[in-house]
Structure 1
Amino acid sequence: MHFRHSDAIWSEYPELVAGTVTVTGITPDGPAEPLIEKFTAVAEARLAAGTEAEFPEIQAWRRTFSRMGLKPTQYRCASESLLRRFRKERVLPRIHPLVDLCNAISLAFAIPVAVFDTAMISGGLEVRHANGDEDYLAFSGETEHPDAREVIFTDAAGRAHARRWTNRQSGHSSVRDTTASVLIVTEAMHDSASEDVPELVAAIADALGDVWRVSPETAIPTRSSPRVEFTC
């Protein structure tokens, strides 16, 4: 399988910094809570000094959404949505140890982290502009079609696994109790992203090793080398 951003995405968003983690051996009973608390505490400290709207990581994604023609306070990147909910409720709902852990790391870094069940992906994933005929399975069970030119994550079968780039993932490849292998993708646009994304990727890989005793593979795709191959 593979993951990549299209040439058009790299051309239009040269400030993009992305990272991937792939791993096999995930179970629904990983003891992730101590690490979840650790990363959540980092987010709490950051939010004590100001709201998520002031974070450079969030401001950069807001500018990106505006460039995509989206109202950034209507369609938020995933990390902003998590931070906003956490600031108001002081807790995030528990879904699955892996999802909960990645959400906590996303909170700590204020950078979107997407987790895909690779068993539900055909061929690989590409971040590209939509044609408009791709199928997106919402968590409500309804099938949607992204707008033409919308930035999506799509596979060889024409499924959109995320809409509006980092706004909303699909229910089709979401993590469930039967998930064993995953592709984790993180993307950032802010000035220090070239330092922060590798640190975030390393944090995820270390956390997965601690909780599930696995050996993740990591990569930092670039414009000159955009394709990541993996065997999960």
Structure 2
Amino acid sequence: MFFQHSSDIWRDFPELVPAALYAEGITPDADAGARIAAHAERAAARLAGASESDLPEIQAWRRTFARMGLKPTQYRCASEALLRRFRKEGALPRLHPLIDLCNAVSIAYAVPIAVFDVSRITSHVEVRYAAGDETYMTFGGATEQPPAGEVIFADAAGRAHARRWTNRQSGHSAVRDSTANVLIVAEALHDTAAADVEALVATLADELNTLWPVTPKSAILTPAAPRFEFPA
């Protein structure tokens, strides 16, 4: 299996810095509470001096959403939505230790992180423009059809695993208690994205190894090396 961005995405968003991580052996019984709290403290410190919309990581995604024809205050990237909820409520809901950990790392770095159950993916995941015939399943179980030109995470079966790029994932490949093998994707477009994404991946790999433990495989992708391969 593999993960990649299409050549059109690299062409239109040359500032993109994506990373992918694959891990096996995830279980729902890990105690991630202390690590989540540490990352939440970092997020709170950043929000003490600015709102989430002022952060350079979020501003870059807002500009990208505007370029895609989306109103940034109507459709937010995942990290902005999480930071907004965290600022208002002081905490994020607990769903699964891996999701909770990735959400905490996401708000600490203000970078969107997507997590997919590999067993629910067909062949590959590619971030590309929709053809208009793909299907997307919401967390409520409803089926939607992204319009042609929308940036989606698509597999070989024509299933969209995320809509509007980093706005919303699909319920079809969401992590659940039975999930064992996962693909994790982080994407940034701000000026210091290269260094920040590298630090994020190192942090996340260390956390995964500590909590489960697993030995994750990871890579930072570039136009010259756009594909991340992992076991089926």
- Normalising by the smaller structure, the TM-score range is over 0.9
Name 2:4's counterpart in structure 1: 4
Name 1:132's counterpart in structure 2: 132
Please list every run of 5 or more consecutive structure 2 residues that lacks an aligned counterpart in the other structure. none
Shift of 1:140: 1.3
Name 2:67's counterpart in structure 1: 67
Name 1:43's counterpart in structure 2: 43
Deviations 1:12-63 (A, max 9, x none): 0000000011000100011111100010000010011110010000000000
Name 2:164's counterpart in structure 1: 164
Matches within 5 A, 1:99-114: 99-114=99-114
Q: Match of 1:151, as an amino acid?
A: V
Name 1:228's counterpart in structure 2: 228
Shift of 1:147: 1.1
Name 2:122's counterpart in structure 1: 122
Counterpart CA distance in 2 for 1:100 and 1:213 is 16
Q: Match of 2:49, as an amino acid?
A: A
Counterpart CA distance in 1 for 2:228 and 2:91 is 34
| Secondary structure of 1:10's aligned partner | helix
Counterpart CA distance in 2 for 1:93 and 1:220 is 29
The percent of aligned pairs where both chains have the same amino acid is 62
Divergent runs of 4+, >6 A: none
Counterpart CA distance in 1 for 2:110 and 2:29 is 26
Counterpart CA distance in 1 for 2:198 and 2:153 is 21
Q: Please give the root-mean-square deviation of Cα atoms over the aligned residues, in Å.
A: 0.5
Q: Match of 1:68, as an amino acid?
A: M
Shift of 1:65: 0.1
1:18 aligns with 2:18: yes
Counterpart CA distance in 1 for 2:199 and 2:147 is 34
Shift of 1:210: 0.6
Alignment coverage as a number of residue pairs: 232
Q: Match of 2:230, as an amino acid?
A: F
Name 1:29's counterpart in structure 2: 29
| Secondary structure of 2:63's aligned partner | helix
Q: Match of 2:109, as an amino acid?
A: F
Name 1:79's counterpart in structure 2: 79
TM-score scaled to structure 2, two decimals? 0.99
